[in-house]
């Protein structure tokens, strides 16, 4: 199984809503990542978890709150988002970190629209 599974595939939320994005992998990887991708731009790294601990937070606003309940799961909790937060949110995983970003498997992404 070389899959990273993200749910939901699409999400529309209002600016006062609270929602969560979920990511799961069963490859035994110990590093997991959240990226944000705007249309026709490369992915931008948001967070890195290594061995279930937050290793990198790329100065992401607190309205995005990551959580790694165990080594297979990664969540991104969303609260009070702005329309400019609309984007494709990608999860990825790799064997470990560092260098892990160079060997990461990406999920299909969640297309988020904030209205």
Residue 65 contacts another protein per CB under 8 A: no
d(CA 109, CA 89): 5
d(CA 20, CA 7): 9
Alpha-carbon Rg for the chain, nearest whole angstrom, is 13
In the numeric block, which tokens belong to residue 91? Answer: 């999860």
The residues in 77-96 that bind another protein, with binding defined as CB under 8 A, are 90, 92
What φ, ψ does residue 111 adopt, rounded to 5°? -85, 110
The residues in 39-58 that bind another protein, with binding defined as CB under 8 A, are 40-45
Residue 108 contacts another protein per CB under 8 A: yes
Task: Candidates 14-22, 35-43, 67-75, 77-85: pick the segment binding another protein (CB under 8 A).
Answer: 35-43
Burial of 69 (0-12, 13-18, 19+ CB in 10 A): exposed
Task: State the minimum distance, in angstroms, from the CB of residue 9 to another protein.
Answer: 8
8 A C-beta contact, residue 76 and residue 7: no
Residue 2 contacts another protein per CB under 8 A: no
Residue 66 contacts another protein per CB under 8 A: no
Task: Determine which residue in the list 46, 64, 74, 107 makes contact with another protein, applying CB under 8 A.
Answer: 107
- Which residues sit at the interface with another protein, rule CB under 8 A? 4, 40-45, 90, 92, 97-99, 101-109, 111
């Amino acid at each position: 199984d070389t899959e990273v599974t993200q749910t939901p595939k699409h999400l529309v939320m209002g600016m006062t809503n609270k929602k969560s994005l979920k990511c799961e992998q069963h490859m035994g990887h110990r590093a997991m990542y959240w990226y944000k991708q705007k249309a026709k731009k490369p992915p931008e790294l948001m967070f890195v978890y290594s061995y279930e601990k937050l290793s990198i937070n790329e100065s992401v606003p607190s309205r995005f709150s990551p959580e790694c309940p165990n080594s297979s799961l990664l969540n991104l909790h969303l609260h009070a988002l702005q329309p400019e937060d609309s984007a494709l949110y990608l999860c990825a995983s790799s064997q470990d970190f560092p260098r892990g970003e160079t060997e990461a498997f990406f999920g299909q992404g969640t297309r988020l629209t904030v209205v």
